[in-house]
Each structure stands twice: as C-alpha cells, then as structure tokens.
Amino acid sequence: CCPSRATILKGQFCHNTGIWDNGDLNNDTFLSGGFKKFQALGLENETIGTVMQSAGYETKFCGKYLNGYEDKSAEIVPPGWDHWQGMTDTAYYGPHFSVNGKLKKMNNSVYQTDYIRNVAISFIERKRPDKPFFMYLSPFAPHAPATPAHRHENMFLDKKAPRTDSFNPDDSLQHQKPSWLGRLPKLSDEQIE
C-alpha cells in the first residue's frame, strides 16, 4: 500500500523513496514506512502535486494518502494541493477526511467511494475554467474487508469467478509458480464458497 502510494506521489520506486512497507502498525511511529517517514524524509516537498501546481495546474487530492495519516494528522495538508481531502479514517461507511486541514467525520450512511466520486464530480463542475487541473483520486477500495455499498451487496450472489485451469490448481502446477505463491495451499471447498 504505502510503497505503491509513495511511488505514485514521487514517480520513484521504493528503493529510491525509502518507503519499503506500510510502517509498524503496532505503534504510532511508522518509521519503516507510511506518512511519518514520508514526512521525515522530506518526500512531500516534491510530489506529483507540487510539480503540477508549479506548472500552473489547479490541484485536487481526495482519498487515502498514506498509512499513519489519521484523525490526529488532519490539520496537516501536504504541499502541492490547492484542494485537499485526505482520508484520516478508512471506514467504508462513515469515513473521516481532512478537508483542507479541518477534520470532517461523515455519518455512517455515507459510503466512502460514493463520497470520493461526488467530490470529484463537484470539483470538475466548479473548477476554474481559465486554468488546467490535476486531480488525484485515491479510494481505499478494494482493501479488506471489501465492503460493498449496500445497493451492491446482493447483486452477484449467483455469480462465480471463472474456473479456468489456473483457478485453485493442484500442487504440481502450484509449485511451478513464484516461491511465495507456490507455497500457498490449495483452497478448500468451504473457502471457495
């Protein structure tokens, strides 16, 4: 998660950014990755946001920023974003956002991905007509638990993933895959259903 998000923000691979993982999620330091390390290394000072803003674009960020960017971080708006809505609590229903540095807690009827979509539409409809724009939308979905919108919960109950030869292969085929994947056991019927 964080290595990928840092790569998108910086345009550099994790061996260049030093963001190797999501951070130590058992404490609040996040010094092996995440928001605090990204900040401590000064990586926020030059991102896609700062570059686009410097080039004259109106910039917008909405969604998940980095692990460790939480409610207590809400007053921090990273450089480069004219309009900031960084998620500080990633609940699918009732998410929290930093809206230009002010914490906004949605009620439990607000579905996170719908909110992000609505923010994007509103921004496009109200953006300055005399200025180009850059918008970075960063939904939390499909992170586990993959909670669908209520209107989608029962849409695909009768659907199954295609059962091709690569679906839940026997051990002889499974062991031909990369080491971490080759070691995974075959799924049981209960896990598949």
Q: Do residues 8 and 63 touch, judged by C-beta distance below 8 A?
A: no
Residues 6 or more apart whose CB falls under 8 angstroms from that of 144 comprise none
- CA 19 to chain centroid, in Å, comes to 15
Is the peptide bond preceding residue 169 cis, with omega within 30 degrees of 0?
Answer: no
Active site residue ranges: 1
- CA 150 to chain centroid, in Å, comes to 21
Q: Which position has the token pair 């979905």? A: 141
